[in-house]
Chain A
Amino acid sequence: MKLDLITSLYVFMLAAFIGFEVIRRVSPLLHTPLMSLTNALDAIAVVGAIILVGEGKSRLAMILGTIAIVAATSNIVGGFMITDRMLKMFKASGPRKP
């Protein structure tokens, strides 16, 4: 299933448009969790590193790829954890009044 250049560009362009429209609607209240969440999602780059290491085509690829997996995994784990911790803190005023 090969992607050619033009298809890739289409995918990128459409994703960027969706990104703009969806993210424009995120309340400024949540801009910090937004950044930590997109950062965690961005770490999906780990799949590229996994394939690189798993195929084991060269020693260099395996060493650099393993470091890449470490870096990306720490972003996934840390990013989702802190985003959830932050979002848990946002409470509306209604229920907490005695």
Chain B
Amino acid sequence: MIARENILEITYLIATALFVLSLKWLSSPVTARRGVWAGEAGMLLAIVGTLLHGGIVDYKLIAIGLVLGTIIGVPLGRVAMTAVPQRTALSHAFGALCVTLVGTSEFYLRAPNVPGFMMGVLSLEVILGALTFTGSLMAAGKLQEVLPQRPITYKGQNFVNLGLLAIAISIAVMLVLHPEKMYLFPFMIGIPLVFGVMMIIPIGGADMPTVISLLNSYAGLSAAAMGFVLQSKLLIIAGALDGASGFILSVNMSKAMNRSFTNVLFGAFGQEQVTVAGAKEARPVRSASPEEAAGILTAASKVVIVPGYGMAVAQAQHKVRELYDALTKRGVDVKFGIHPVAGRMPGHMNVLLAEADIPYDKLLEMDEINGDFPQTDVALVIGANDVTNPAAREDTSSPIYGMPILDVDKAHTVMVIKRSMGAGFAGIANPLYYLDKTLMLFGDAKNFVGAIVREISGGHN
């Protein structure tokens, strides 16, 4: 006879294996969907195992919770692809909420007899959980544009933020030493809740990919800490996997912006950099009409399209697919160059283009495509700015100097679709626009690409 507890442990063991396989299969788009199925199977097994063998006496509230969660979850699984970043931020908030609430309950069930180590991980769990909860809600609000997107900074901001964190940690230390001081516990939750808000206030839209990744990592670590508290290997492992994933993505994102973590969190980069822009105001640019652009594109043999978040804002993905189809039909080799921070979260641009039915093998990362630009006839930049700015490579005084960019300026001709000559997110002038080989295509991305497509297919018969 196998004991109940052992059956539960074995289901958890299988679930753990399925979780690791799930992530392993995600390594390639060919096996990725199998990864989702493995994850679902593992999850189902763990939940059913817990319901049957977890020593549960009352199922009523559990059933209510599962049903309500499903009702909320289904619409969150159906959001538009452009809204995926805010959905992801919201789900980090939900995950962190779950962890914080369970941690709080565990404290009041056990206090005042909490061993030092247990109190330590419990503190870590609720501090990380609470700051991730409000921080993610703030990030979701900024991404959904219900909160102002511009960074809000004030004097002594870093001092206030670090001070709050220091107070929360000191309370944790006090509770570890004196777990009977239960009145301190609410403060250990309340202060990180405030800190989470303060942490996101100075962060602008362009830094969102890094911040979302960082919050992802915190959410994972808080879940792992919960695993320590509940002595659950399954939870420790799931939390560690999530934490590792968020950490890798944050490192990738900061590298792609040539900034350190601390710089993203404490830098508040987004202010207007008028000094650089001023000197270059008067220089002339060349512009072109859709007819001219269509002529140049159809005469090319190799075209690289560089999409940025502006393309998604203009909802131009489907027009871009039509352009891709029209050019491919004429024998033009069309590829896409994707900067790691294009979009509002890691990999967001790929999802938007895949949704428009552009084959994923045409979507190339920055490192893969950069060698191709010298042999490229036309680089077509749609709604991207800073990630194509050659100042990042050449101008040591530029605030984005050192940031890896897509070398579109090495292509024979550069075309940039842009609403006006305004500066980009970081407010930095882009010398790319003043090059002799650059043609500015002024207008809304969707309409302009549509006009080019009409020209190409009109002249095709």
> Which residues on A are within 8 Å of B, measured CB to CB?
1-3, 5, 8, 11-12, 15-16, 18-20, 22-58, 60-62, 64-94, 96
Contacts and interface: CB of A to CB of B under 8 A. Distances in A.
A80 to B, nearest CB: 5
A42 B238 contact: yes
A88 B357 CA distance: 11
B81 interface: yes
The majority secondary structure among interface residues of chain A is helix
Contacts of A62: 61
A90 B104 CA distance: 41
Given A80-B40, A84-B33, A66 B235 contact: no
A53 B65 contact: yes
Interface of B: 5-6, 9, 15, 19-20, 22-24, 26-29, 32-33, 35-36, 39-40, 42-43, 46-47, 50-51, 54-59, 61-62, 64-66, 68-70, 72-79, 81, 84, 87-88, 91-92, 94-95, 97-99, 101-102, 104-106, 108-109, 117, 212-213, 216, 219-220, 223-224, 226-228, 230-246, 248-249, 252, 338, 340, 345-348, 350-351, 354-355, 357, 359-363, 365
Contacts of A84: 33, 36
Contacts of A66: 61-62, 64-65
A29 B367 CA distance: 13
Given A2-B231, A3-B233, A41-B22, A19 B240 contact: yes
The majority secondary structure among interface residues of chain B is helix
Given A20-B244, A45-B99, A11 B65 contact: no
With a 10 A CB-CB cut-off, give which of B98, B219, B362 has the most chain A CB atoms. Answer: B98
Contact of B24 (A22, A75, A89): A22
B238 A41 contact: yes
Nearest to A25: B27
B395 to A, nearest CB: 27
